[in-house]
Amino acid sequence: MNKENDIKLADLARENSYSPYSNFSVGAALRCKNGHVFTGCNIENHGIQSCCAERTAFLKAISEGEKEFESISVVGAVHNEEPTSECTPCGYCRQFMSEFVDENFKIYTLSSGEIKEYTIKDLLPNGFTNHKD
Ligand code: THU
């Protein structure tokens, strides 16, 4: 199944996380409708402009010309530890993703070893928009 595969890819992407400030490494695997998968990790800095794993994956995909997205899988945990609790996208990422996806876009997370499934509509009900219905 794609979601099991993508959760593994997201967990692997944590290895590239640059997160010396939070000590929390996050990986994401963004699946495009054409089957391409882009991974991303969180990238922090000494200011407050950290980039979450989800946005890293979207930025990579969009800058490579991708436009149609199916799902994103997200795994996060303290550095060098196995994920124990669920890592759901932050509010900024929810709004960011909503720009590029339809309401059926899926978000997969890992909760106590089990994959949980949401739609962007579940996580961002009544999200702000000024140009779409
Ligand atoms: N973070 C993500 O990359 N994705 C999430 O879904 C939640 C939080 C990052 C931001 C920051 O680098 C670290 O995790 C701790 O908040």
Domain boundary assignment for the chain: 3-123
Q: Give start and end residues of each alpha helix (H) in the chain.
A: 2-13, 53-63, 91-98, 120-123
Q: Which residue has the tokens 């000590």?
A: 23
Could you give the percent of the chain with pLDDT greater than 70? Answer: 98
Residues 22 and 45: beta-carbon distance below 8 Å: no
Q: Which entry of 44, 54, 64, 68 is annotated as an active-site residue?
A: 54
Specify the CATH class of 3-123 in words.
alpha beta
Give the Å distance between the CA of 76 and the centre of ligand 1: 8
Best residue among 18, 42, 124 to mutate for probing ligand 1's pocket (most ligand atoms within 8 Å of CB) is 42
Question: Does the pLDDT of residue 43 top 80, yes or no?
Answer: yes
| Nearest protein CA to atom 4 of ligand 1, as residue | 52
| 35 Rama sector, left if φ>0, alpha if ψ -120 to 50, beta otherwise | left
**pTM of the prediction?**
0.95
Residue 66 Cα to ligand 1 middle (Å): 23
103-127: per-residue pLDDT in tens? Answer: 899 999 998 899 999 999 999 999 8
Distance CA 124, CA 128 (A): 9
66 labelled catalytic? no
Give exposure, 18-35, as e/b (b: 16+ Cβ within 10 Å): ebeeeebbbbbbbbbeee
